[in-house]
Amino acid sequence: MTDLLLEMHDVQIEGRSDETWMPIIKGVDLILKKGEVLGLIGESGAGKSTLGLAAMGFTRDGVRISGGTVTFDGIDLRTASAETKRQLLGKRIAYVAQSAAASFNPAHKLIDQHTEAPVQHGTASKAESMADGIELYRRLRLPDPDEIGFRYPHQVSGGQLQRAMTAMAMATRPDLIIFDEPTTALDVTTQIEVLAAIRDIVEQFGTAAIYITHDLAVVAQMADRIKVLLKGEEVEEAETREMLSAPKEDYTKSLWAVRAFQRPAKPAPATDAIPVVSVQTVTAAYGKIPVLHDVSFDIHAGRTVAVVGESGSGKSTTARVITGLLPQSAGVVELDGEPLPADYRKRSKDQLRQIQMIYQMADTALNPRQTIAEIVGRPVEFYTGLKGHAKRNRVAELMEQIELPASEYADRLPSELSGGQKQRIGIARALAAEPKFIICDEVTSALDQLVAEGILRLLARLQDDLNLSYMFITHDLATVRSIADEVVVMKDGRVVEQGRKAEMFRPPHHPYTDLLLSSVPEMDPDWLTNLLAERGVHNIGDAAAASIK
C-alpha cells in the first residue's frame, strides 16, 4: 500500500497523576491514507487531543506513549530522535489548535509567524513564503489579504485568526494536518466561514487531515471517515454517511440522540399577567462605549426566555443590567411590577435574593478552597438566616434537588467533581436563595452534549417543581430549541426579533435570525455544500455581511 500515510497500531498513552501513571489511551488503532480526512469525535476526556498529538509523535508534559507504534510515512515516530521529529513537525505534519487567539504568539506579526516554519525548515525563503502566505490568506477568504498578515494577533478577530492559523499550517504544504477543535470557540456564523475555508483548502492541496471535534454535525461536513472515542477506547469507526445513518453502538446512538431532547413550550401567559422580570427600553454603556440600545422584553412566571446572539451582541451585558452590576443609563428593570434600583448596592436583600445567576465556567465560579457544603451553605445562611442543624438540613435538601446526595458530596472540594457536577453545585447555590428568577449564562456551553442534556433536563424539572423563571443566555440554537418558551434575538446591543419559540423557528424571519438559524450545522454530510450553494456566493464573509445589512 503506497498511499498509506499514517499508521497507529495499538497505541497506549499514559498521563501522570501524582506519582502514578494513569492510562489515557488504551490501545487504539488508526490508519490514514494520503489525502484522506478522518474525523475523531468524543466527549472531553475521551483522549481525542492526546491521540491527535500522538499522531505527530508529540506528547504534552506529564504524558507518555507507553505502547504500540506510530508510523508516519515509514518513519517510526516512537523511536525517532528528537531532531528527526523536529524536522517533520511544521514541515510534513502541521497542527491547527483550538484557540488561535492563544496559539499565536502575541509578540509577533501573523506573517512572521507564518513564514517561520518554511524558513526554519528551509522549504522557502522569507520573501517566497510571505508571498505564498498572502496568497493563502486570499484563498482562505480573509479580508484584506495583502495587509492582514502585518497585524498582531490581538488586532485580528477570532474567526480570522483561526483561518490565519490554517494558512500557517499550509505554509509548508504538509502531508498531514491535525485540526484540534478549530471552530469550537467560534460563533455559528463565523464557524461556517472557517469550516468552508478549511474544507476547500484541504481538498485543493490533497492534504490528509485528522479533524478532532465533539460536534457531530461539524464532523459530518468535514470527514470522509469518523472514529468515535470513549474514555480512551475506540467505540466504532465507519464511513461518514454510514456512521450517520446507521450507527452500530449504543454509545454512538446516544450521542446522536442528544439533540432530540425538546420540551414542549408552555402556553402563552395571560395578557394581563404581571411579568416576573420586565426589561423596559434599557440603554447601557461601558464608560462612553454604548453597548445596549432600547432593549425590552418580559419574562413571566415559570417561563424560560432564551436570549441568543453572537459574542458581543449584548447578551451578558443585559444580564449585568438586570442584576444591577452595570447600572443602565436609561430605561427601567421591574421585578413583579416594581421598578428595581439600577445599582445592586441600593437594592434590598429581598430584591437581591429574587434574582440569582448561574455561570458558564463552573470551574471559576466555585471557590476551590471551600467544600460543597460551605459553598451551598453560605447563601442559605445569608438569605434565609438558617444556622447549624437547620442549615445543614437545607443544604441536604438542595443537594437532593440537584441529584447529588449530601451524604456523598457535601464534604468534597470542587476539584473532586466533574464539570457537570460542578455546574449542578452552581445551580444549588442559586436555588439556596429561593429565587423567583435565575439567569443562566451559557451554562451548558462548556459541557459535553450528554452532560449538557442532563443539566437542561434538571433545570426543566426544577422549573416545573418551583415555578422558576429563567433567562437563558446562549449562542447555541439547539439549546434554545430544547428548553425555551420564548426567544429574544440580539445583535449589536439591540433586540432584532422576539417571540414564541414556535414562531421563531418558523419562517419568515428577520434576516439576521435567518442567518443564525441557517448557520447551525446539521447532521447531513451535504449540509455545508448545499448551504454554500444556496447562499450562492463564493465569498461567504461578504454574504454574511450583506444579509445582515
Partner 1 sequence: MHPVLKIILQRLALGLLTLFIVSIVIFTAVNMLPGDFAQAILGQSATPEAVAAIRRDLGLDQPYVVRYFGWLTDMLQGNLGISYAQLNFQSNMGGQNLKTVADQIAPRFANTMFLAGVAAVIAVPFAVTLGVLAALYRNSAFDKAVNVGTLTSISSPEFFLAYILVLFLAVLNPLLPSIANIYQGISLADRLTATLLPALTLTLVVTAHMMRMTRAAIINLLASPYIEMARLKGVSPFRIIVKHALPNAWAPIINVIALNLAYLITGVVVVEVVFNYPGIGQLFVDAVKNRDIPVVQACCLIFAAAYILLNLAADILSMLANPRLRHPK
User: What is the binding site for partner 1 (CB under 8 A)?
Assistant: 53, 56, 58, 60-61, 85-91, 94-95, 97, 99, 102-108, 116-117, 120-121, 151-152, 154-155
Give the nearer residue to partner 1 in terms of CB position, either 133 or 269. Answer: 133
Min. distance of Cβ 173 from partner 1 in angstroms? 14
Give the nearer residue to partner 1 in terms of CB position, either 104 or 211. Answer: 104
Min. distance of Cβ 151 from partner 1 in angstroms? 8
Min. distance of Cβ 60 from partner 1 in angstroms? 7
Compute CA distances 335 → 105, 276, 318, 429, 549, whole Å. 47, 6, 15, 21, 35
Q: What is the CA radius of gyration of the chain?
A: 25
Min. distance of Cβ 168 from partner 1 in angstroms? 8
CA–CA separation, 264 and 203 (whole Å):
42
b/e sequence 182-193, b meaning 16+ C-beta within 10 Å:
bbbbbbbbbbbb
Min. distance of Cβ 249 from partner 1 in angstroms? 32
Min. distance of Cβ 36 from partner 1 in angstroms? 21
Q: Vertex 521, ends 519 and 522: CA angle to 5°?
A: 125
3-class state of residue 431 by DSSP: helix
* Listed residue (31, 24, 66) closest to 48, CA to CA: 24
Min. distance of Cβ 104 from partner 1 in angstroms? 6
Instruction: Quickly count: other Cβ atoms within 10 Å of residue 398's Cβ.
Output: 23
Q: Which long-range contacts (CB under 8 A, 24 or more apart) does 353-356 make?
A: 353/383, 353/433, 353/434, 353/435, 354/433, 354/435, 354/436, 354/437, 355/277, 355/322, 355/323, 355/435, 355/436, 355/437, 355/438, 355/439, 356/429, 356/430, 356/431, 356/433, 356/435, 356/437, 356/438, 356/439
Give the nearer residue to partner 1 in terms of CB position, either 58 or 437. Answer: 58
Residue 270 cell numbers, joined:
395571560
Give the nearer residue to partner 1 in terms of CB position, either 172 or 189. Answer: 172
Give the nearer residue to partner 1 in terms of CB position, either 150 or 344. Answer: 150
Min. distance of Cβ 217 from partner 1 in angstroms? 26
Give the nearer residue to partner 1 in terms of CB position, either 117 or 451. Answer: 117
CA–CA separation, 469 and 278 (whole Å):
12
Q: Which long-range contacts (CB under 8 A, 24 or more apart) does 75-81 make?
A: none
Min. distance of Cβ 162 from partner 1 in angstroms? 13
Q: In what order do the strands lie in the sheet with 289-299?
A: 289-299, 277-286, 330-335, 338-339
Min. distance of Cβ 108 from partner 1 in angstroms? 7
Residue 277 cell numbers, joined:
422580570
Give the nearer residue to partner 1 in terms of CB position, either 108 or 506. Answer: 108
Give the nearer residue to partner 1 in terms of CB position, either 109 or 259. Answer: 109
Give the nearer residue to partner 1 in terms of CB position, either 336 or 492. Answer: 492
Give the nearer residue to partner 1 in terms of CB position, either 98 or 474. Answer: 98
CA–CA separation, 425 and 358 (whole Å):
10
